[in-house]
Structure formats: C-alpha cells, structure tokens
Chains A and B, each alone.
Chain A
C-alpha cells in the first residue's frame, strides 16, 4: 500500500501560499469587487480546503494503521 503522508499539511501549505498572496493584494486592490470576490470565492474555498485537509489527515492515519496491522 502506498502512502499519502503529508497531503493534509501540503493542502494547508498551498492554501496559506494563496491566502498570503490574497492578503498582499489588499495593498493595491481595495474596492467592492475585491470584497465580493472574497465573499464569493475565497471564504468558501478556504473553509473547504481546511475541511478536506483535516479529512485527508485522518485518512492518512487510518491507512498507516492498516499498513501496520496488515503487513
């Protein structure tokens, strides 16, 4: 069985990179369009990535346990 060790943290890392860039845009882009973009896309995406990263982490723990028990 192959491993997917670290996919959860990698997802969080990718999200952090994106969010850091998003925050930097605030200095040069500050209008209603930005606020609406955040409301329509960024917030839900952030929550969904965090939730998926948590699930992926639990899956990795589960698969590691299976590897230990069945190998």
Chain B
C-alpha cells in the first residue's frame, strides 16, 4: 500500500473493478475448461468410438462391395445365356461400393494418424491454457485480497465523521 494519499473518488470504483475481475476470471475459466473438455472428448473419440465406427464401416462396405460384385457377376452370367445384358447399373454399383470402401479405409487411417497427432499437438497448444489457469489460481485471490484491503481503507477514509456536518 502506498503511504501517499489515495487519489480515488469513491470506494465504488474498487468494488466495480473487483466485480469485473471476478467476471473475467470466471469467463476465462469457463472457456478454458470448455476447450479442455473438447480436447479430451476428441482424444477419447479418436481412441474408442471413431476407430470402432470406421472398422465397422469398412466391414459393412466390404460386404456391400462383395454383394455388388455378385450382382454384376449374375448380370454377366445372364448376358452369356442370351438374356439382354443389363450390367451397366451393376457395374456402377460396384464402382460406388469400391469408392465407399476406400473412403472408410481412408477415414480409419486418418483416425489412427490423428490419435497420435492430437496427443502431440494438444500437449503443446494446451501450454498457454494451463499457464493462464495457473495464473488465475495464483493471482485472482491475491488481486481480490489487495482490492479488499483497499476497500477497507477507503471505506474508513470516506466514512462520515460523527458530528461533521460538512
């Protein structure tokens, strides 16, 4: 505390600053915790739900491709027996099934790659987030104490002297 006289017009200034400090502290904590939760959620999903989903999709799409190929083979067989060849749609269905299978395989690979990359990158990126949370833990109580002390002194200073009509 300065030993020189305080140049402040009212304790309300400090009260309002204290409120604003608390609001900033809470806003930061809320946003940072939300960011943490999103990273944790993404990590968890990349380790469990996403690989399972895309493995299942690969199997499902392999089966779909096999079924499409069977349909094409049937159409070709029918053409050999003299039935009008109607394999164009079946050929397209095979191509679509192949593309869908390739997509699922790419996604499955991407999930594995991102699971490793996210761990590496998130730890680095969460550094400043951690630093701010630590700073808030340390400094918000100190700032509150300082402002509370000032408020005590100011309220004493501004308290009307009994019998002083001025």
Contacts and interface: CB of A to CB of B under 8 A. Distances in A.
A63 B39 contact: yes
Q: What is the size category of the interface that chain A forms with chain B?
A: 35 or more
A12 B34 CA distance: 15
Contact of B135 (A3, A7, A14, A48): A48
A66 B118 contact: yes
Interface of B: 1-2, 4-10, 13-14, 16-17, 20-21, 23-24, 27-28, 31-32, 34-35, 37-39, 41-42, 45-46, 50, 54, 107, 110-111, 114, 118, 121-122, 125-129, 131-132, 135, 139, 142-143, 146-147, 150
B4 A31 contact: yes
Q: How would you classify the secondary structure of chain A's contact residues: helix, strand, loop or mixed?
A: helix
B28 to A, nearest CB: 6
Contacts of B41: 1-2
A56 B24 contact: no
The 3 closest A-B pairs by CB, nearest first: A14-B27, A31-B7, A52-B132
6 contacts: A18-B24, A32-B4, A37-B147, A41-B142, A52-B132, A56-B129
